[in-house]
């Protein structure tokens, strides 16, 4: 209980969500690469950053739901933001044609790996800071 109160006051929930998005994005990109020669396969992408940006935007109003059946309005809570896989709509793509470009997917996968590595180091640093604070010692 106390640990959740402490952790929720840090940027760790946002970093954890971003790491989850990077992991999903890597799985999606490797699936796209694996299906580069599959006839009729359409690529899948992941959306996360735009939703995160909207949730962090303090200038947007945030609605309050008084019933679980009500729709969400306004800015989302950070706990509600997560990655979503989807197939981008491309009206110029003829039916049955594979739209995966291997070079683009490989470049995006490399970018995702770099992002995940950065997020992991950031996450590790945040835990080291918390650990140092708990043990009342200098940050290393």
Per-residue pLDDT reduced to its tens digit, 1-27: 556 666 666 788 888 899 999 999 999
- The pLDDT value recorded for residue 109 is 97
Q: Which residues contact 115 (CB under 8 A, 6 or more apart)?
A: 18, 22
Two tokens at 36?
Answer: 């580069």
CB atoms within 10 A of CB 55: 19
Its pTM stands at 0.80
79-94 pLDDT per residue, tens: 778 999 999 887 777 7
> Which residues make beta-bridge pairs with 45?
86
């Amino acid at each position: 209980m106390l640990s959740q109160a402490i952790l929720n006051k840090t940027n760790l929930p946002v970093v954890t969500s971003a790491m989850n998005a990077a992991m999903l994005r890597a799985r999606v990109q490797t699936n796209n690469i694996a299906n580069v020669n599959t006839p009729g396969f359409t690529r899948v992408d992941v959306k996360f950053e735009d939703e995160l940006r909207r949730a962090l935007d303090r200038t947007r109003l945030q609605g309050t739901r008084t019933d679980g059946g009500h729709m969400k309005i306004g800015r989302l809570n950070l706990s509600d933001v997560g990655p979503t896989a989807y197939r981008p709509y491309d009206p110029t793509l003829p039916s049955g044609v594979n739209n995966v470009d291997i070079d683009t997917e490989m470049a995006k996968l490399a970018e995702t790996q770099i992002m995940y590595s950065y997020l992991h180091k950031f996450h590790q640093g945040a835990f080291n800071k918390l650990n140092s604070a708990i043990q009342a010692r200098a940050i290393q």
